[in-house]
Structure formats: structure tokens, C-alpha cells
Structure 1
Amino acid sequence: MDRRDLLAAAGIAGPLLPLAARAGTAPSAGPVQPDASFDLWPGDAPGLRDRNFQDHVVVRNPDPAFPDRAMDHIRTPRLDVFRAKNPNGAAMLVIPGGGYARVVVDKEGYELAPWLAARGITAFVLFYRLPGDPWQNPSNVPLADAQRAMRLIRHQTARWHVDPRRVGAMGFSAGGHLCADLATRFGRTVYDPVDAADAQDARPFVAAPIYPVVTMDPDFAHMGSRTLLIGKDPAPDLAAEHSPERQVSAQTPPCFLCHAEDDTTVPIRNTIALHAALKAAKVPAEAHLFEQGGHGFGWGPRTQGKPAHLWPELFLAWARGHGLLG
């Protein structure tokens, strides 16, 4: 199913992916969709190798009460916007995961974005290009999209009632890697400027890698993400460049981290290594290690009744202390 087929099946028109979302943990009474959506790049994204390549959506659970959809090919990276109900000037770039093989839509995107919007934070869900698709410089296309997204948000702050200084980033699993990559390599040149938006700063005000893939060290990397991003046998300097724990500097923004100890997909050592690197660089950082939660717990039924379910509230309290909410 491609994006157009998904829209037709849902019986709506327009550029958005309609989804049912949860308010709290109860099923939604009807479909929820973003308030707006816009592409990251004018025309095709840079470095497209195959003009026949198209967006593609996989519906993994068709139940509209508990949807599970993912994009496993992305030709047109974009931001879907959930406007804050009562804007406080803060914004978050929300980066879903998917092992760099896909970008999930519901659990780590459309589920959390309304939660942020209800608390005054305008949320921008990023659908970023995947390194396994036909792009030049594939290992850097996710970062190029994340940098471009931050710059576009800041370029359009008047439109969204956002303070350009208070734009953070949050990512999950492989999206957590991209969030940490953005937090450490925000100034790296990975694409040529295309318009005035690219004069903006790509550094997040705060960053929140959640159960993140971090290292490219094969001893405790998530090997699926590693292989797709940098190949099976990368040169040591390429592996180091894409290991955020090795790219932390004094300019890295404050970071909020959380991970479950029973995560059998992405070893908790990823978060521990990143936290240690942040502390060594004297970057403000807070880490929460939950006993239970597994991998990909997002904010939903998997953690209902467990401490890990409270991580968004912990993040909000931490972010308030660092000035995100003004």
C-alpha cells in the first residue's frame, strides 16, 4: 500500500496520514490526524538516485482503535504538525523509530504528539529518509532530514507560535539514534543549503533519546540499524562518526534519557554509554533506567501500570527545569 492508497482506503483527501490515536490509554472515538503537513525539501530531496522510487506504507494492524502503521520507503520526507492547544512557545521535533528499515507512525509519532500538544508544546513528527533506499550518501540522509526539519521549524516559528530558541528533539529507538546524532552533529555539513531556512541553527534546545540505538560498536550495537546505516563492515572512522557517544562535545544540548533494563532488542548499555559521555563532557543529563518495559514501549498499553508509563511526565518536569516551557 502506498500513501495514496492509504488515503483512499481511509476515505479522506489531502496529504496527511489519518490515524486513530489514544487519549490516555482508552481507544479513540474516531480518527485523529495532524493539523498540518509539509514537505522538508522543495521538489525532490537531494541525492535521489531512482525517479521511479515512491513512498510506501505498511499497515501492520488495521484496527482503528489501536493502529500500527509504518512507512518502509520514504521518497518525500515531511513534517506532520500537531498544534499546541494553548501554545507556551515550546516545540518538539518527534522522531519515530523503526530500525532504519522503516519509520513507525503511531506508537512513537501520532500517539505522543497529541500528548505534547495538549500540554502547550507544538509537536512536529518527522518522516525521514531511510539509508536502505536509493539515495546518495545514504548514511547521512536521516541526519540531513533532521537538520533540515529543525531549520524549517525555526524558519516558520511565527506561523506555529513557537519561540525559535525553544525547539527540542525527541526520538525513539533508531529515531533515538537520529535524535542523539542531531544533538551531537547538528553542525556537520551533510547537505548543500537550498533556501533561506538553511541559515537557521539545527541544534536542539534539549534532546530526549528514548530507548535509543546509540553506538556502532558491534559489541553492543543494534546490528540491524548499524548494518542499514553504515554497512556490514564499516571503516573505523565511519563507525565512530555515527556513534553519538563518541561525538558528544560541550556544545551538545542537555539530554533526557530513558531505557528499560529488560530491553532485549537494544541493549541498555547504549543509554549508559551515552549518559557517561554526556557527564564526561559536563553536559547536563538525566537518565531513567526502568526495571520493566522491554523495547519500543512508547506511551501506551505495554507499560500501563508500570513505572515506565510515567516517562513523559518525567521528561516534562525535566524539560521545565531546563527552560523548554519558558
Structure 2
Amino acid sequence: MHKDMDRRTALLAGLAVAGVAPHALAQTAPPAAGQGARPLTLADSTETIDLWPTPPVPNSPQSEVTTERSKDPAYNDRFVTGITRPRMAVFRPKSPNGAAVLITPGGGYSWVVVDKEGYEMARLLAAQGITAFVLFYRLPHQGWANGADVPLADAQRALRLIRHHAPRYHVDPARVAATGFSAGGHVCASLLTRFDAQVYAPRDAADRLSARPDAAAPIYPVIAMAAPAAHMGSRKNLLGENPTAATERAYSPHLHVPANAPPCFLLHAEDDASVPVANTLMLREGLRAQNIATQTHLYPDGGHGFGLRLARGKSVEHWPDLFLHWLRQTGITT
């Protein structure tokens, strides 16, 4: 079982000093129903945590818009753009087991998916006793001065706030994992490799806590920023039209794995036509080079963006069972 008592003691001491953050835990509502709205198949979480005491201000005006894509009454499939108040939607289990998972949904850095790679995963985790936090992070190309760093800044801040509010959510601050999908997988991979990078100025007591996840699971992640493996849409939205080779390298997580990266769970379908499986293999190579415990699962079919619902009937269908088992193996759950 994963037991790092020195780190656990330090985290708990930090919480005792920091106390509970002074700002309210539900300042900004979750993404609204938005364009194409229709009744929700399942109720959304109504509890949120705003990331920043003072909302960040973009260089150009932005307006948050949520769009419904699903035409099937059996499920919702929303995405949100124009996020200026980054926040987490909280899914509390009926009987919390002390574990927490930060979820960073995908969307090619063009938008952030709400349901398929966010709320659906959160409900699965909450049903297992895990407190889930779905992160609606800022999009790098939507008016931010330090655009390429804002998704990581939001993810670091989110991880720290989960630990900061650990007593409120009955969470063990030394059992906080991260998972992300597609471009959200890039956010997750950036967090597990650059958790110590100073990409924002500390704001309050929460920023004295570690942003290192205790385990991380980038799922069909965007990793490479250079051709031929790069997902060019994510690359353009993150780095602009013509980034330099040095910039591509700086934002390719597999090239920056530290010796103290957390254990990782990697998953990809080999027929992924959007984000080549080479991305996961590159990250695996970088992790293995640093002797980081890594569990890798490759499947012949599944395509891209299967999440939970779209994995049904394919070889990748049972990946959530493997993921939950891995969380137990790493000591995130018991």
C-alpha cells in the first residue's frame, strides 16, 4: 500500500496551519445548460469550488457558453467555452473512503467537455466512495497573457485546493489522484511532470501545499507537441500557429518527467485516428526512464474519446475496472 508518512504528516501540518480557505465554496455555478438545452438525463452537481480568490481577467472579453451536442434523450453531451471563472464541480460520495480524484476533461483545448469525460467519470468514482472534482480550466487561446500555462496553473491550484479543503470533504490529502482525457490528458500529464513549476504567483495559504498528485492517469492523452505524433489542433490552441522547436519541447510532458513523478496508469486505443497511440508510448518511455511505476493498457479498438459510455461493446470496454483496481494497488483507495 502507498504509505508516505513523512509527506502525509507534512500535508496534514500544512492543513492545520492553513485552515479552511476564507472564500465560499460555491461562488460560481457549474456550466449552465446553454445552447441546444434539453432536460438533463441525470442531475448535475450543484457544488463548486472557485479556484481563485480574485477571478482572472483575460486580455479580451470572453463569455462562457455551454453547448449541448447530444440528440439522444438517453444522455447529455455538453461542452463549455469562454471559461473566465475556472472552478471544480464536486461529486461527493454517500460514504467517502478518503480518496479524491481530480478530473480534467478533454476538448482539444478548444472547449472543455462536461459530461462524457467529466461528470460521467465523476459519478462512477463517487459510486465507489471516491470524492471527484471535475475541473473546468481556462482555454489557452482565449485571451490569456500566459495562455500556454493557464491550464497547468488551474490544475496546480485545483490540486492544492483539494488538499486545502481535505477535512471538509473527508479526504486524505495524501490520497489525491489526477486523471484526464485527450487534451485534458495533456493537462494531467503536465501536472504529473511539472507540479513544481511556478506558473502563477502564490495567492494564499493553499499555495503552500504540494500540487503533486499521488497517482496520475492520462487517458488517450495529447503528449507530443511536435509532428508527426502531435494532435495539431491541441498544439495550435496551446502554442499558437508556428511555435518554435524549443516551445514544442517545453510543453511535451514526456521530455520533462522528474524522478519524483507519481505512479501512472496509461490507456490508449491503437486505432485512435485523432491522437496517435505514439503519444502514450512516448510518455511511457519517459516515465520508465525515471523508474516511475507505470501500468500501461493498449487496446486494438476504441478510437478516440470513448470515455465510459462509448467504450461499450469494444475491447476497451472494461478499462474502468482496471483503473479502479490500480487505484487500490497504489493505495489511493483501500
Report if the CA contact (8 A) 1:17-1:33 is conserved: no
Q: Which residue of 2 aligns with 1:253?
A: 262
Q: Amino acid of the residue matched to residue 49 of structure 1? A: N
Q: Amino acid of the residue matched to residue 241 of structure 2? A: K
Distance 2:284 2:130 in 1: 25
RMSD (Å), alpha carbons: 1.6
Q: Secondary structure at the match of 2:247?
A: helix
Distance 2:149 2:191 in 1: 11
Q: Does 1:145 align with 2:159?
A: no
Which among 308, 311, 317 is matched to residue 303 of structure 1? 311
What is the CA deviation profile of residues 126-158 of structure 1, one whole-angstrom value per residue up to 9, with x for unaligned ones?
000001101111000000000000011100001
Q: Which residue of 2 aligns with 1:191?
A: 200
Which among 53, 61, 68 is matched to residue 42 of structure 1? 53
Q: Amino acid of the residue matched to residue 312 of structure 1? A: P
Q: Amino acid of the residue matched to residue 197 of structure 2? A: R
Q: Does 1:70 align with 2:79?
A: yes
Q: Secondary structure at the match of 2:317?
A: helix
Q: Does 1:177 align with 2:186?
A: yes
Distance 1:16 1:53 in 2: 17
Q: Amino acid of the residue matched to residue 292 of structure 1? A: D
Distance 1:283 1:243 in 2: 17
Q: Does 1:241 align with 2:238?
A: no
Q: Does 1:267 align with 2:311?
A: no
Percent identity, aligned pairs only, is: 52
Q: Which residue of 1 aligns with 2:238?
A: 229
Judged with a 3 Å threshold, the aligned counterparts in structure 2 of structure 1 residues 35 and 117 are, in CA distance, closer, same or farther, namely farther
Q: Secondary structure at the match of 1:258?
A: strand
Distance 1:85 1:159 in 2: 14
Report if the CA contact (8 A) 2:181-2:218 is conserved: yes
Q: Secondary structure at the match of 1:288?
A: strand
Matches within 5 A, 1:5-44: 15-17=29-31, 30-44=41-55
Q: Which residue of 2 aligns with 1:316?
A: 324
Distance 1:157 1:35 in 2: 19
Q: Amino acid of the residue matched to residue 88 of structure 1? A: N
Q: Amino acid of the residue matched to residue 120 of structure 2? A: E
Q: Which residue of 1 aligns with 2:167?
A: 158
Distance 1:16 1:29 in 2: 14
Q: Secondary structure at the match of 2:69?
A: strand
Distance 1:160 1:64 in 2: 33
Judged with a 3 Å threshold, the aligned counterparts in structure 2 of structure 1 residues 113 and 268 are, in CA distance, closer, same or farther, namely same
TM-fit CA distance, 1:18: 6.7
Please, which runs of 5 or more residues in structure 1 have no aligned partner?
1-13, 20-27
What TM-score do you get using the length of structure 1 for normalisation?
Answer: 0.89
Q: Which residue of 2 aligns with 1:4?
A: none
Judged with a 3 Å threshold, the aligned counterparts in structure 2 of structure 1 residues 30 and 214 are, in CA distance, closer, same or farther, namely closer
Q: Secondary structure at the match of 1:31?
A: coil
TM-fit CA distance, 1:30: 4.6
TM-fit CA distance, 1:43: 2.5
Distance 1:216 1:241 in 2: 9
Which aligned runs of 4 or more in structure 1 are off by greater than 6 angstroms?
A: none
What is the CA deviation profile of residues 219-261 of structure 1, one whole-angstrom value per residue up to 9, with x for unaligned ones?
1100110111112221222211110110112111110000001
Distance 1:29 1:224 in 2: 30
Which among 188, 199, 221 is matched to residue 212 of structure 1? 221
TM-fit CA distance, 1:53: 2.0
Distance 1:15 1:254 in 2: 33
Q: Secondary structure at the match of 2:318?
A: helix
What TM-score do you get using the length of structure 2 for normalisation?
Answer: 0.87
TM-fit CA distance, 1:62: 5.3
Q: Amino acid of the residue matched to residue 325 of structure 2? A: A
Distance 1:279 1:146 in 2: 24
- Alignment: residue pair count: 302
Distance 1:168 1:295 in 2: 23
Distance 1:295 1:94 in 2: 18
Q: Does 1:54 align with 2:63?
A: yes
What is the CA deviation profile of residues 63-122 of structure 1, one whole-angstrom value per residue up to 9, with x for unaligned ones?
452111101211111000000221110000001000000001010001110100000110
Judged with a 3 Å threshold, the aligned counterparts in structure 2 of structure 1 residues 17 and 229 are, in CA distance, closer, same or farther, namely closer
